[in-house]
Amino acid sequence: MTHSFHPTVLREYDIRGIIGETLGADDARAIGRSFGSMLAEAGGRKVAVGYDGRVSSPMLEHALVEGLNASGMDVVRIGMGPTPMLYYAEASAEDVDGGIEITGSHNPANYNGFKMVFQGRPFFGADIQELGRRSSAGEWVDGSGSVEDRDVIDAYIERMLEALDGIDPASLAGLKVGWDAGNGAAGPALEKLAARLPGEHHLLFTDVDGEFPNHHPDPTVEENLADLRNLVAEKSLDFGVAFDGDGDRIGAIDGEGRVIWGDQLLMVFAEDLLARRKGATIIADVKASRALFDHVAAHGGEPLMWKTGHSLIKSKMKETGSPLAGEMSGHVFFADEYYGYDDALYAGIRLIAAAARLGKSVTELRSAMPPMINTPEMRFQVDESRKFAAIGEIAGRVAASDALADTTDGVRVTTDDGWWLLRASNTQDVLVARAESESEEGLARLVAQIDEQLAESGLERGPQAGH
């Protein structure tokens, strides 16, 4: 037996496709066979499996478990829940050697996919390519494994609540927070969590519905925060928190309805952490504001700019011993008193804890941030064969011009006006551009530099591409 995947589904950080078109039960079974075989050869024996609230998830889970069992893997089924609950099941249990969450994350309802952990580390890049190669070659270990159901949600909630240890509950008694689960997989866990938190909590869309009837579950798109913003205004709440479809990315707004972007949340978390852990390395991706890197340094931390991508960030954290990292996309990773993976529910509790320890409201913390002017993340189509080549050409021209540039991931150029970034997406045939300045005039000059570089490589900034 062999299996070939549709060429679009084996991505850099995960496996993802369209149900009935590029992804189905046979793919899930083959993923189980190949992942199980790779884990067996590394001495592993047991895999935790969870799934999100999409309509297709139970079908994929059934096939995945079959494939894992056929490669001799014992399977621990944790049922439906957010991706970080699967990460928790893998990280906290001594008898579990790997984990797979079936999730389409923030993609449209007809998508689904797989996020994987292999012996405590992210499974991505070359691992995913090897999984594809093994499937095509039928290089599978044969065996028979068992299946057990394990209820981890209550232990997961208890573990997250430890973030409030040492904080006087009386100081949080007047807290008022809004939460928007977006009909994603985090809903049931959020209900259990909110019931245990001090203060007053107002919840939106905790019913899991794979059709996402209220709004798309991507909290980095401002229009998806409209319901949460209305709730915060109507109830005079201190702040609001939103999750993506599988609960590993956080979005937030303050009491005045202002968005707190991923890098701004990281400023709050870093300030809190650095008060206790001077000199710690804080990692953020290349799309993050200069204000964040300056803020980390000002509070005695070591800022480190790294490549975009949750698997790449997690790997860099392990390498550097960093206790905290984050991305503009809302992935926040806590290795400080936690396991080092991205967990939006935990990040929401850490936001409550940080504000309490810093003695300021979330709105005050947001108001203290420098008023940078940014473009949104601009994504535009470019032929797959040109995307990395074009970035290489631009990097070469920038280097020849003596401009101050960072080429960690694409090209990020710093000028007196601020900075601009061009990078190739690892998951789509798009280039991503972003710029930041302290003035509108400065921003216009930076965007003009982006357009100039693109024109020299025979490209232009448009039409915009979605996620």
Residue positions annotated with a catalytic role: 105
The bridge status of strand 430-437 relative to strand 378-381 is antiparallel
The distance from CA 62 to its chain's CA centroid, rounded to whole angstroms, is 26
Tokens of 456: 């020299």
**210 close to 147: Cβ distance less than 8 angstroms:** no
Three-class HEC string of 211-247: CCCCCCCCCCCHHHHHHHHHHHHHHCCCEEEEECCCC
**412 close to 286: Cβ distance less than 8 angstroms:** yes
Compute CA distances 19 → 32, 276, 347, whole Å: 17, 47, 31
**177 close to 239: Cβ distance less than 8 angstroms:** yes
What DSSP string runs through 129-189?
HHHHHHHHHT--------EEE---HHHHHHHHHGGGTTS-GGGGTT-EEEEE-TTSTTHHH
CA angle in degrees (0–180, nearest 5) for 98-50-337: 65
Compute CA distances 101 → 21, 274, 347, 371, whole Å: 20, 33, 20, 38
| Kind plus residue range of the DSSP H or E element containing 302 | strand 302-306
CA angle in degrees (0–180, nearest 5) for 149-16-429: 160
3-state DSSP: the chain helix, strand, coil percent, rounded to 5?
Answer: 40, 25, 40
Tokens of 381: 């189509």
The bridge status of strand 176-180 relative to strand 147-149 is unpaired
| Kind plus residue range of the DSSP H or E element containing 75 | strand 74-80
CA angle in degrees (0–180, nearest 5) for 188-211-195: 15
What contacts 385, CB < 8 A, 6 or more positions away? Answer: none
Compute CA distances 91 → 67, 98, 247, 457, whole Å: 22, 9, 17, 46
